[in-house]
Amino acid sequence: MARYASSTQRREWTFSAAHILESMREEARRGYVRHFPGRQVMDAERERRFRRHYEEHIFRWARSEALQLPRYAAATAVMLFKRFCLHNSLWEYDVEVLARACVYVAGKVEENYRAAVRVDAEREGAILAHELVVLEGVRFQAVCHHPYALIAAAFPDFSDWPRVDAALVRTDAALLLSPAALAMVLVGRELGYHHAVWEGHEHERERSFALVEQLMQQAAADDEVANSDGDWKALYSFYLANRNPLLNPNSPESLAQRQTEAAALEQQRQRHREQVRARDRQRAALLTNGDGWGADLK
């Protein structure tokens, strides 16, 4: 590998690619803070660990005995969540409902339908209400292309599918590489590194292998922190304290919104009552206008 790229060059490629995604997420965070000035958001590193927790949860839940979605459908659920987080701030939504809605939408996209009540009976209504939220959040780009089929077709003896799962779920590799390039990386240096698909594209091969290796190292480093005592509880508590206050029905913002909505509804009712009274007055005036025909109508 050193024949083609130095370690400095590999780091530059990785930084450049990751920077594009992080800049999109940073814009989503800034948008949330502008909308709710009194709230805070996590820094990029802590938010990555928080997001990773739910990405792994989505994959495990989709593959669970209750749903039994195939690998590619579970990967689609994760990809929908990843794409959603590029354009939207997690702080604005109930992340538990959002995660399950991604599983529900993925089942439809991959023609492995699972009813919302089967995904989560307690949150069935919320999941159905968030279906359009997910689709709008991913700009209706719900179709996902994964390396599973490519690997199975090109390398029939390949069996290390957990390795593929880990790359898709625990890293952003699928957002940065084409399915073919990612497939070649995941089958390993023994096969994928020397595959004919790279002929004439050695620079892209170097970039792809370096990128996935760097991302997997980052995921391993995150695991060390995430497994420490109290890390997840601290992240989740921070999320609950700073997420969209309208998600909490007892928050001052929710109470104020309900009061505003109640006042607007009362104004609408008052306008309707005034319109009814005006029509009644007009009708009475027509019936008593003294031209002779009104008396016959009484």
Cβ contact 240:246 at 8 Å: no
**Which whole number is the average pLDDT over 251-275?**
78
Residues 50-80 have pLDDT tens digits of 999 999 999 999 999 999 999 999 999 999 9
* Cα-based distances in Å from 87 to 60, 83, 147, 236, 286: 24, 7, 24, 21, 60
Residues 73-127 have pLDDT tens digits of 999 999 999 999 999 999 999 999 999 999 999 999 999 999 999 999 999 999 9
Whether pLDDT at 294 is above 80: no
Cα dihedral sign, 104-109-114-116: positive
How many other CB atoms are found less than 10 A from the CB of residue 20? 12
CA distance 76 to 36: 31
Token pair recorded at residue 135:
């689709």
Whether pLDDT at 175 is above 60: yes
Residues 190-242 have pLDDT tens digits of 888 888 888 888 888 888 898 899 899 989 988 888 777 678 889 999 999 88
Domain ranges in the chain? 7-246, 252-297
Q: Does domain 7-246 have CATH number 3.90.550.10?
A: no
Per-residue burial over 167-196, b = 16 or more CB atoms within 10 Å of its CB, e = otherwise:
bbbbbbbbbbbebbbbbbbbbeeeebbeee
Check residue 145 and give its pLDDT: 92
287: amino acid identity, one letter: L
* Conformation bin of residue 250: beta by default, left when phi > 0, alpha when psi is -120 to 50: alpha
**The model's pTM:** 0.81
The share of the chain scoring above pLDDT 90, in percent, equals: 51
Check residue 293 and give its pLDDT: 52
Phi, psi of 226 (to 5 degrees): -65, -30
Listed in sequence order, the DSSP H helices in the chain are 7-35, 44-62, 71-87, 95-109, 116-119, 124-137, 148-154, 161-170, 173-176, 179-186, 202-226, 231-242, 252-287, 294-297
Check residue 229 and give its pLDDT: 62
Whether pLDDT at 292 is above 60: no
Per-residue burial over 250-283, b = 16 or more CB atoms within 10 Å of its CB, e = otherwise:
eeeeeeeeeeeeeeeeeeeeeeeeeeeeeeeeee
